Amino acid sequence: MQKRMTIALAVAALLTAGCARGIESSASGEVIGASDAAKTVVLYVDNQNSQPVELRTVLDGRSAFVGAVQANDSATILLDPTLFPAGFLYLVAVPADGRGRAIAGPLSASKGDKIKFTVAEALNLSNAIVLR
């Protein structure tokens, strides 16, 4: 009986490791699959600031809330697929205390791309890069 249980656990561990390939965790703890990521742009946020930040996209003068990241934390967020392709996308991070903001852009991104947005302690040193 114990031998069967050990084998079952080993098989489960192998299957789990194999199925997890190409899967990432999001800000809300949900799993983002490769097929979901291919349908839009994935935003990776590294908040190095001592304040939690609200994240927004700005495209064609319209601002939209996309999520929040705690202080000194990171998150992965799927952006709204209707925004892409976009040639003049801006990312904005507003700290909880309302003092200042980090702005990155204009960015040119298409579905399937990834954007890495680093929110620095000094907000004016923040940057974003599009990875294809």
Give 36's contacts (C-beta < 8 A, 6+ positions apart): 78
d(CA 103, CA 130): 15
116 SS3 class: strand
pLDDT at residue 39, as a whole number: 80
Model confidence, pTM = 0.74
The string over 123-132, giving b where at least 16 C-beta atoms fall within 10 Å of a residue's C-beta and e elsewhere, is beebebeeee
* Domain range annotation of the chain: 24-131
CB neighbour list of residue 97: distance below 8 Å, 6 or more residues apart: 51
Q: Would you state the pLDDT for residue 29?
A: 53
The residue with greater pLDDT, 21 or 115, is 115
Mean pLDDT over 102-106 rounds to 97
**Phi then psi dihedrals of residue 88, to 5 deg:** -135, 60
pLDDT (tens digit, 9 = 90+) per residue, 20-73?
333 344 455 556 666 766 789 999 999 999 999 999 999 999 999 999 999 999
pLDDT of residue 34: 67
31-40, 57-66, 85-94, 115-124: lowest mean pLDDT where?
31-40
Q: Which CATH number describes the domain made up of 24-131?
A: 2.60.40.2890
- What average pLDDT does the structure give for the chain? 82
Identify the band that residue 11 occupies on the pLDDT scale cut at 50, 70 and 90.
Answer: very low
**pLDDT band for position 9 (50/70/90)?**
very low
Strands 62-69 and 73-78: unpaired
Query: What's the rounded Cα separation, in Å, for the pair 61 and 100?
Result: 19
Query: Any idea what DSSP says for residue 123?
Result: G
